[in-house]
Amino acid sequence: MFAYSLGVALIGKKQDNNIENVDPNSLGLHPDNPRQGDIGAIVTSIENNGWFGTLVAQRTTRQVLAGNHRLQAAIALDMETVPVYWVDVDDAEAKRILLADNRVSDLATWDDTVLVSLLESLANNDALLGSGYDGDDLDALLYDAQLNDSSLGNLLDDIPTPAERADVIEAAGIRSIIMPFPMETYNAVVALLAQARTDLKVDTNADVLEKLLRERQ
């Protein structure tokens, strides 16, 4: 899953004429950004929801402080311009903004009950695409809720061996296939899967895999 950053408010700093539409290729990624984003998911969101929010960039360096991954998505989509909020800060202040933009979202928590309800309302209208979630995410949340709200959760906690744990998971009718990808290809694969779900008119990555495999038979 992923979240857009809408910028950082600079308390006590008066800023004039800060917002400008600029060529994304004229901006730079901050070299010290520690966050690894899902570019494919952001591309899918922009394609389905349009662009919202602004990038935040240091005026003197033209390096992005908030929205590095949205910048990469904009370039991937060949967008002509993106809105930028320029800040006049020194390098130390720039790094604090960079960290804060990433960290403050980490400190938030989720109300899983509300999240599941929201996702179900979208899934029922085939509107999950572009939300950052897919049917597999919803299934996982529902399964976790089942574990937390039923005796199955307590049973899993008491299982001493992998074999016994597998029996309980099998009884729940769920199986997972884990497919690791190198970092350099992961985002591209995520984007391809999102496009495949749209092209094949299916809800989950599992549906994509099954349909493609059956077509090869």
Dump pLDDT digits (tens) for 147-184. 565 544 444 454 345 565 556 556 666 666 667 777 77
What is residue 96's DSSP assignment?
H
Look at residues 45, 79, 106 and tell me which one is the last residue of a structural domain: 106
Look at residues 91, 106, 121 and tell me which one is the last residue of a structural domain: 106
69 close to 3: Cβ distance less than 8 angstroms: no
170: in domain: yes
7: which 2 tokens?
A: 């910028």
The whole-angstrom separation of Cα 76 and Cα 56 is 19
**Full residue range of the structural domain in which residue 84 is found:** 19-106
Question: In the prediction, which pLDDT does 10 show?
Answer: 42
Tell whether 127 and 185 lie within a shared domain: no
11: in domain: no
The whole-angstrom separation of Cα 52 and Cα 133 is 18
Encode pLDDT of 19-40 as tens digits. Answer: 999 999 999 999 988 888 888 8
How many CB atoms are located within 10 Å of the residue 114 CB?
A: 9
Least confident of 161-175, 183-197, 202-216: 161-175
10: in domain: no
Question: In the prediction, which pLDDT does 143 show?
Answer: 67
Q: What is the CATH number of the domain that holds 98?
A: 3.90.1530.10
9: in domain: no
4: in domain: no
Give the length of the chain.
Answer: 217
71: in domain: yes
55: in domain: yes
Tell whether 30 and 93 lie within a shared domain: yes
6: in domain: no
**Domain total in the chain:** 3
Overall pTM surpassing 0.75 (yes/no) = no
Say which residues have a Cβ less than 8 Å from residue 172's Cβ, sequence separation at least 6: 143, 146, 152
Site of tokens 């695409």: 129
Tell whether 191 and 117 lie within a shared domain: no
Tell whether 90 and 160 lie within a shared domain: no
Tell whether 95 and 119 lie within a shared domain: no
Tell whether 101 and 23 lie within a shared domain: yes
Tell whether 121 and 160 lie within a shared domain: yes
Look at residues 106, 139, 168 and tell me which one is the last residue of a structural domain: 106
Q: Identify which has the larger pLDDT, 3 or 206.
A: 206
Of the pLDDT bands very low, low, confident and very high (cuts 50, 70, 90), residue 124 is low
Tell whether 172 and 190 lie within a shared domain: no
48: which 2 tokens?
A: 């389905």
Query: Does 71 score more than 90 pLDDT?
Result: yes
Tell whether 114 and 100 lie within a shared domain: no
Query: Does 115 score more than 60 pLDDT?
Result: yes
